[in-house]
Amino acid sequence: MQLRYNFRVYPTPGQQIELARAFGCARVVFNDAVRLRRQAREQGLPYVSDAELSRQVITGAKTTPERAWLGEVSAVVLQQALADLNTAYRNFFASVTGKRNGREVAPPRFRSRKGNRQAIRFTKNSRFKVLDDGRLRLPKIGDLVVRWSRTLPSDPSSVAIIKDAAGRYFASFVVQSTDEPLPELDSEVGIDLGLTHFAVLSDGTKVTAAKFLRRAARKLKRLQQALARKQPGSSNRRKAVVKVARAHARVADTRRDWQHKLSTTLIRENQAVYVEDLCVAGLGRTRLAKSVHDAAWAGFTAMLEYKAARYGRTFARVDRFFPSTRRCSDCGRINEKMTLNVRAWDCPCGAAHDRDVNAALNVLAAGQADNGNDRGAQVRPGLVPAPRGEAVTHPDAARSTRSVAGISVLQGGEDVNVGTSPTT
């Protein structure tokens, strides 16, 4: 399994200038390649291949006075910018032709020099190296100071240097990690995700939603108001932008750390974890959009999925159309739709349910039913044609039609249910 490890780096002022130059060169190469392919399409010319694109926007461009400064940065950085563009085009073509699932992917756009996030990537061909003293040596940039929080499990295959909107620099290593199976357990859990309680487990445990964005709303409002009062293009406005970005980064980092701790606990304490497949994109367009984005369900379920694969656990998603809330976990009866303010309800079978706990129990049962076969076969039986003897009409009867009143009338014959029908 490939994993990504992020560490904070602290470049010197001179290294920051070199990194800014590398960011700019990678952006220019990317935009030149996008422009070249767009012009070829508008003029009706053949699609520019990857090799021809590299020859024109990198190799040939370095020999021109307008792009001679591309030689001041590592060639691997420029090649990886083109690799990102080619990947974007392949995803776009696969989406257009229907080979890619999910929402449609738009064609690549130009990168802006005013973007809040900049990134470049170095592969093994660039000969980057982690020195014995812990510094990261990058070609034509120098040795960067890295704040190591843990050791890498193996030699990295690539490293990306990222500058975020808050002005922080990170080194993101891609490493090949081996699976570390945990001891098998007998416990399994179903999770119902919500807003009041972030997660309700099938054993009755309720995890209160932290609501990091809501708690920081007052400070964010004050910083946004201060930003709005600054003169556009001034130094004070740039400083205010960084302050707002740092406040948002603090919220995102705190939320991510909290979700990592919760997901690790769930994976370590349960052999199987089942969650409901929520339509986060659709819920993000409702009046609860701010709370939905603050909860970050998609990021949390992604953590559960990759940690389960790494530690030998079972993770599965239950169909989003499964009526987990309205279904009685005792008798299986499906009740009418309930509004959000109904937090508890009674089933005619006599069972009293907490809305969220009942949903978590149903998610657990549905997940166990769909994943109970170790060979991956379908557990639930499919549709089977009815036996011939159970047909309502005689096998040798003529084809029937449907009358206006809804009573089946045989052509040239007699309906077997006419004598018992109250409408005859």
Please check whether residue 261 is in contact with residue 254, taking contact to mean a CB–CB distance below 8 angstroms: no
CA-to-CA dists, residue 30 to 49, 86, 88, 105, 164, angstroms: 15, 10, 11, 18, 19
The residues carrying an active-site annotation are 192, 276, 356
Q: Is 118 helix (H, G, I), strand (E, B) or coil?
A: strand
Please check whether residue 255 is in contact with residue 261, taking contact to mean a CB–CB distance below 8 angstroms: no
Please check whether residue 160 is in contact with residue 120, taking contact to mean a CB–CB distance below 8 angstroms: yes
Supply 226's token pair. Answer: 């201060």
* Best CA proximity match to 121, nearest among 156, 158, 149, 89: 158
Supply 228's token pair. Answer: 């709005």
Please check whether residue 316 is in contact with residue 272, taking contact to mean a CB–CB distance below 8 angstroms: yes
Rounded (to 5) percent helix, strand, coil in the chain:
40, 20, 40
How many residues appear in the chain? 424
Please check whether residue 177 is in contact with residue 157, taking contact to mean a CB–CB distance below 8 angstroms: no
- Residue 142's beta-bridge partner residues? 138
* Best CA proximity match to 308, nearest among 424, 179, 161, 399: 179
